[in-house]
Structure 1
Amino acid sequence: MRQTAAAEPVPLASSLAVGELAWASVCAVGAAVRPDELQPPDPDQIAAAYRSDRHLLIDAVPPDVWSPLSRFWQTADGCVRTHGNYPHHAAALKRGLALPSDASVEQVSGRLATMTAAAACRDITAAGGLCAAVRREDPRYDAALRRRPLVETRRLADSPARSMPSDSRAAPLAGVRVLDLTRVIAGPVATRTLALAGADVLRLDPPELPEPPWQHLDTGHGKRSALLDAATEAPRLHRLLTDADVVVLGYRPAALRRLGLSPEVLAERHPHLVVAQLSAWPGEDSPRGFDSLVQAESGISWLESTDGSAPGALPAQALDHSAGYLLAAAIIDALRRRARSGGSRLVRTSLRRVAAELLGMPRGERPAVTAPYAVRTQQFDVAGHVVTTVAPAVRWPGSPEWFPPPRPWGEDRAEW
């Protein structure tokens, strides 16, 4: 991953090269849009974008973005990290620990303290929850991951070339239709970036699993939001795919196969599609995961410890945001390839592959404090609420200064 160095460092305090990773990831989008005319972004705005959840305001109040069950825990032989921001994941965590649904944080802590980290991960995962052991880094494994492309791109099927529908400098993706089947941060950052470039993005969520409101408002800019269950409404989904140019997938590979939405099946049925896939871990058997869990498993949490005895975290959800920007850049490149030579293409990466990239970059000493940085924000009225979010970090010549507003979650029709 090589990009022009920033004139000023991106102020994300870490001994790891988080700022350099963020700079290169954001620059990748600008380079994909205008490879012949690069416009460097603002390092301060990149830092703000990577920490957007910390600048988000809803009716002038910062939302509480972490569940009490999303944290580190001490076990009998080490530490684990769990994720319980979604209610169904919090319920599964307690179920995996054989605790009642109304169990307190203290009860969860007490149960985990009696278990090994391996047993906790096994039982919680088996129940459908999310738990990762906090491990030390494995340089050999990371080096093996880095021998693979940071974002894999390959041709899946043949089809006639389709020209880019727009030559607008401000909106180079105008007329491109993107079906967004992602959640949380990485996938929504990718599709938000495509929407900024003018794409018509339709996000679909299962009706029974609402997105936390703050999360949707933080990354939902410029997209329409509709409800559709991919498991029970496959014909409607494939009708949408017939007229789409891009589909962005955030489901686990096993779930995609079960739903008949694996990249290979999609390319066979819709040989014009650019299929973009994000997962937490590499490989076809990737379990559920989030940025915080990948930091724990990859060794980043121990490297970010401030005292050597308690694990820490990166100054931002940098794996998520970087994966999102890198995937958006690869999608734009795949669309340009399709315009030249046709065909369906797969572009994919994982948070763990991005972590390996970060762990292979030059390191320095951890700054004592995070340097102050300027933040450009914008305000919207969304469903009667005043929402303040961070303005775009991505830049290309003629690019918009501001995001279009988010739509209310789930209130649009599932149609183009």
Structure 2
Amino acid sequence: MDNTVRTGTELLWAELGGDPALLDRVAYGGPSGLLPARLPVMDLARATVAVAGLAAVERAGLPGPVRVDDGAVATAFVSERHLRVDGRAPVNFAPLSRFWRAADGWVRTHANYPHHKAALLGALGRSDDSVDGVAGAIGERKAVEVETAVYAAGGLAVALRTPEEWAAHEQGREVAARPLLTRDRLDEAAPRRRSDRPLRVLDLTRVIAGPVATRTLALLGADVLRIDPPGNPELPDQHADTNVGKRTAALDLDSPSDRRAFDELLDAADVLVTGYRPGALDRFDLHRPGLVTARLSAWGDYGPWGGRRGFDSLVQVATGIAVAEGSPDEPGALPAQALDHGTGYLLAAAVLRSLTEQDRDGGTRLVRLALAQTGHWLTHTLPRYEPERWLTESAGPLGRLRHALSPVSYEGGPTGWQRPPGIAGADAPEWLGA
């Protein structure tokens, strides 16, 4: 494929600190035109999968190639939609997880989990969960007022913002000022893992991005053990889609006996992946010398939204992506939860690269990613189709025309036509030079 297909992979591999000479090990193919969008979603999907594969073959010492098939990539990026459980289609969004018209714009809520639904209804002063009732309550308020009230109640709601409004927002400025991801070496500790057993990954993640990362590590041979609170398991369809290849257990970390069991697991782990909001797990002291820790959040662990919960659909709305894919009057959405899936594969790649570097240099490692950072990379770094690049202007009898350049191009060939269009029928009926 041409160089534009490689661009995203090259950019991500550089962010991961990978050897650029390995990029030639990636082979691209498959059907074209998948995951269509105004933003370069397929490029994001292809690149994140490519670097996950490249980090895997680098770590395993294999020659490759890493095969990136657009059909497989696009299907995996909507894996939750293709899931069937005994023929039943999954429930991906609950009735109250949707766009709502507010008094001055739009709000998107996320209420898939029972406690988030209860918080939403409480913030709106609703005792029932009828769609019409919630619509009426939101329609009476301004979008930012709904966002503020619902978050204060422990729920999730985000006001629709344009790209310009997000760029001016304090959290938007914080996101724009930071790199796509960070990978830090915290000390000189020796690696924890041994060669006589599989890589041990302790999984404290939820929903899509983190579970996609650990699902990928399980595919590559890791022993992945996911821990959930006993009273708050993952949603059944999410569990069926993203926990393939893993084992799962329930532990209450506020219970002394369960906490001891968890600490023993962490003491023997090689990798810890967390996906809870920043600060939520700090009281459990998860640091261990020689551990590779990967922290995933929605908005980043900085700025005024650093402690907020969030999901892909909400990040799209806040950061202007929903406007870019639609308009301020009719917001749209990406063709996949691409921030979730893309960040998941990128997280897996970052863990693998950190393990490879740890083999060489030792040290406790910390990787940090955020859905909002991935969204910023999608909207500001990946090359987008800008038709102006292939347009030109010329003056002639019809006036000044803007028109498309010819796609027929070769070395030594013409760069454009020798004459503009003239007045219809005004030329003499004769050959030039006759």
CA contact under 8 A between 2:34 and 2:71: conserved in structure 1?
Answer: yes
- After superposition, the CA RMSD in angstroms is 2.1
Q: Letter of the aligned partner of 1:156 in structure 2?
A: L
| Bigger RCO (CA 8 Å, 6+ sep) | 1
Tell me how far apart the structure 2 counterparts of residues 34 and 336 of structure 1 sit (CA, whole Å).
Answer: 11
Report Cα offsets for 1:18-62 as digits up to 9, x if no partner. Answer: 000000000011110123533222100100000111111111121
1:308 Cα offset (Å): 5.7
Tell me how far apart the structure 2 counterparts of residues 209 and 163 of structure 1 sit (CA, whole Å).
Answer: 31
1:336 Cα offset (Å): 1.4
Residue 83 (str. 1) matches residue 83 (str. 2)? no
Identity of aligned residues (%): 47
- Counterparts of residues 160-199 of structure 1 (less than 5 Å): 160-161=190-191, 165=195, 175-199=198-222
Q: 1:333 to 1:85 in 2, by over 3 A?
A: same
Unaligned runs of 5+ in 2: 1-7, 11-25, 388-434
2:324 maps to 303
1:56 maps to 83
Q: Letter of the aligned partner of 1:338 in structure 2?
A: Q
1:246 Cα offset (Å): 0.5
1:116 maps to 142
Report Cα offsets for 1:124-162 as digits up to 9, x if no partner. Answer: 111111001110013856687455332210012321245
Q: 1:124 to 1:5 in 2, by over 3 A?
A: farther
Most deviating of 280-289 and 352-361: 280-289
Q: Letter of the aligned partner of 2:77 in structure 1?
A: Y
1:74 maps to 101
* Partner SS, residue 57 of structure 1: coil
Of residues 25, 41, 47 in structure 2, which corresponds to 1:24? 47
Tell me how far apart the structure 2 counterparts of residues 149 and 103 of structure 1 sit (CA, whole Å).
Answer: 41
Report Cα offsets for 1:226-254 as digits up to 9, x if no partner. Answer: 00123334332211110000010111112
Tell me how far apart the structure 1 counterparts of residues 133 and 193 of structure 2 sit (CA, whole Å).
Answer: 59
Residue 153 (str. 1) matches residue 176 (str. 2)? no
1:2 maps to 9
- Counterparts of residues 100-249 of structure 1 (less than 5 Å): 100=127, 102-138=128-164, 140=167, 145=175, 148-161=178-191, 165=195, 175-232=198-255, 233-249=258-274
Q: Letter of the aligned partner of 1:298 in structure 2?
A: T
* Partner SS, residue 89 of structure 1: helix
Tell me how far apart the structure 1 counterparts of residues 272 and 80 of structure 2 sit (CA, whole Å).
Answer: 26
- Counterparts of residues 212-291 of structure 1 (less than 5 Å): 212-232=235-255, 233-257=258-282, 259-261=283-285, 266-267=286-287, 270-284=288-302, 285-291=306-312
TM-score (norm: length of structure 2): 0.76
Unaligned runs of 5+ in 1: 167-173, 367-416
Number of residues paired by the alignment? 350
Tell me how far apart the structure 1 counterparts of residues 35 and 9 of structure 2 sit (CA, whole Å).
Answer: 19
1:2 Cα offset (Å): 3.2
Tell me how far apart the structure 1 counterparts of residues 234 and 118 of structure 2 sit (CA, whole Å).
Answer: 16
Tell me how far apart the structure 1 counterparts of residues 27 and 190 of structure 2 sit (CA, whole Å).
Answer: 38
Tell me how far apart the structure 1 counterparts of residues 67 and 237 of structure 2 sit (CA, whole Å).
Answer: 29
Tell me how far apart the structure 2 counterparts of residues 143 and 357 of structure 1 sit (CA, whole Å).
Answer: 14
* Partner SS, residue 66 of structure 1: coil
2:424 maps to none
1:116 Cα offset (Å): 0.7
CA contact under 8 A between 1:163 and 1:339: conserved in structure 2?
Answer: no
* Partner SS, residue 280 of structure 2: helix
CA contact under 8 A between 2:157 and 2:314: conserved in structure 1?
Answer: yes
Specify which structure has the higher proportion of helix: 2
Q: Letter of the aligned partner of 1:46 in structure 2?
A: V
CA contact under 8 A between 2:210 and 2:296: conserved in structure 1?
Answer: yes
Q: Letter of the aligned partner of 1:326 in structure 2?
A: L
Tell me how far apart the structure 2 counterparts of residues 256 and 215 of structure 1 sit (CA, whole Å).
Answer: 22
Q: 1:177 to 1:339 in 2, by over 3 A?
A: same
1:164 Cα offset (Å): 6.4
Most deviating of 28-37 and 205-214: 28-37
Tell me how far apart the structure 1 counterparts of residues 86 and 385 of structure 2 sit (CA, whole Å).
Answer: 39
CA contact under 8 A between 1:161 and 1:342: conserved in structure 2?
Answer: yes
Q: Letter of the aligned partner of 1:242 in structure 2?
A: D
Residue 351 (str. 1) matches residue 376 (str. 2)? no
Tell me how far apart the structure 2 counterparts of residues 71 and 365 of structure 1 sit (CA, whole Å).
Answer: 31
Report which of the two structures shows the higher radius of gyration computed on alpha carbons: 2
CA contact under 8 A between 2:29 and 2:68: conserved in structure 1?
Answer: no
CA contact under 8 A between 1:10 and 1:44: conserved in structure 2?
Answer: no
